[in-house]
Amino acid sequence: MATRSDPLPALVEAIAAALPARRPLPLHAPVLGAAEKARLAACIDSGYVSSIGPEVEAFEHALREFTGLPGVTATVNGSAALHLALRLAGVRPGDEVLMPALTFVGSANAVAACGARPRFVDVSAETLAVDPAALEAHLQATTRRAGDGLYDRRTGNRIAALMVVHCLGHLGAMEALAALARTWGLPLVEDAAEALGSRRPQGHAGAWGLASALSFNGNKIITTGGGGALLSPDPDLARRARHLATTAKQPHPWAFRHDAVAFNYRMPNLNAALGLAQMRRLPLHLEAKASLEAAYRLSLARVPGARLFAAPPGSRPNRWLQLLLLDDPDLRDPLLGALHARGLLARPLWEPLHRAPMYAHCTRAPLPVTVDLHARGICLPSGADLVEAA
């Protein structure tokens, strides 16, 4: 009786063939050079290295120009931007926020920072983002409307907002999700931490929500070392975010007067200087990532047992990380071990957040797609400098 051949060696070889020969290859490394050094040196020479200085405003302007969104406030990291977005959406202690369980823990931590709790809903296998049909079914089955909002029928907790996460840089079905948010009276917040450069015909990531958050961590498509930004179609909301990000200090030549409980969340000038140099690289990074995806697809085309995730028609993701989906979930950890042994530092998707001890008690809808994607998904090396074989 014939036995099925082991697909593992062929998968390892196909992945390795799409990549440069140097080892190790990290999941996603920053691309830095002379332009970044020059910007940082000029910033140091100016003496403006903290949260006051011209580079911050110049970086915000560059983000406005690139995204087409008029409201931009640069922050110390993406988590700070997301916390501000939720605060400005009206999330209060005791509330719940609808969000996916398939995301980095920082998404849920921003909810917790508001004194609220995540309420987990499933994602779509086509977009990796919140599934509109599953969300609507959950809302119909578990919530009731009252005069001032939406409430859980069982607990009475207010459901204060919908957070959509653009997983790995892939945009969700944003038109449908925005329409659902309007129908149910929910402010929409976009966690676009991984999605700088991701677009649909109707706009850049962040164009549908009240506010959104970007991250410029060292592993993102561009980096400021640390850093993030709040984006909004509403420039007045972004100005309120900037006020809260600077300890709500009222303008005055010398007096320290503050008019709200607020935060020290403003991006330092030194980080913004790095970001300005990186913004010039961004179009090239997007092209390189498209080439890398093509190389992976070509190399994996004749290898059974796995497929590379593809964005739905009409979506133009930034391809921050390439996602390999295995037919057999039992192959995931052996493949990760084999890739690491070859110096290819792939990783699984994040552990779904409903399994984390601090969020295990949170209300959740059925999560079959989330669980399946986590069991079968591997994020492949995806840096913008990995295109030698493309």
1 part of a folded domain: no
Q: Is residue 292 part of a domain?
A: yes
**Angle, alpha carbons 34-74-247 (nearest 5°):** 130
Same domain, yes or no: 120 and 264: yes
The neighbour count for residue 81, using CB atoms within 10 Å, is 32
Residues 155 and 67 in one domain: yes
In a domain, 102, yes or no: yes
Q: Which of 250, 279, 308 is the endpoint of a domain?
A: 279
pLDDT value of residue 294:
97
Question: Is residue 321, in this structure, part of any structural domain at all?
Answer: yes
Identify whether the C-beta of residue 336 lies closer than 8 Å to the C-beta of residue 344. Answer: no
Main-chain dihedrals φ then ψ at residue 258, nearest 5 degrees = -125, 140
387 domain-assigned: no
Whether residues 50 and 140 fall in one domain: yes
Q: Which residue has the tokens 């677009």?
A: 199
- Do 78 and 177 belong to one domain? yes
Q: Is 203 left (phi over 0), alpha (psi -120 to 50) or beta?
A: left
User: Do 149 and 113 share a structural domain?
Assistant: yes
Instruction: Answer whether 19's CB lies under 8 Å from 389's CB.
Output: yes
d(CA 63, CA 231): 9
- Is 231 in the same domain as 309? no
Among residues 231, 254, 279, which one ends one of the domains?
279
In this structure, the strands spanning 143-146 and 188-191 are unpaired
**Chain length of the chain:** 390
Q: Are residues 247 and 308 in the same domain?
A: no
Do both 63 and 191 map to the same domain? yes
- Return d(Cα 54, Cα 16) in angstroms, integer: 44
> Do residues 253 and 346 share a domain?
no
Specify the number of domains making up the chain. Answer: 2
The answer to the question of residue 253 being in a domain is yes
Residues 239 and 155 in one domain: yes
Query: Does residue 235 lie in a domain region?
Result: yes
Q: How far is CA 283 from CA 213, 287, 288, 310, in A?
A: 20, 6, 9, 21
Final residue belonging to a domain, choices 241, 263, 279: 279
What integer pLDDT is reported at residue 6 of this predicted model?
85
CATH code at 317?
3.90.1150.10
270 and 286 in a single domain? The answer is no
* Mean pLDDT of successive 10-residue stretches along the chain, which has 390 residues: 71 97 97 98 96 95 98 98 98 98 98 98 98 98 93 97 98 97 98 98 97 98 97 98 96 94 97 98 98 97 95 95 98 98 98 98 98 98 80
If asked whether residues 368 and 303 sit together in one domain, one would say yes
* Residue 193, domain member (yes or no): yes
State the CATH number of the domain containing residue 192.
3.40.640.10
Q: Which domain range does residue 322 map to? A: 8-31+282-380
Whole-number CA gyration radius for the chain: 22
Cα atoms found within 13 Å of the Cα of residue 52, Cβ hemisphere only: 1
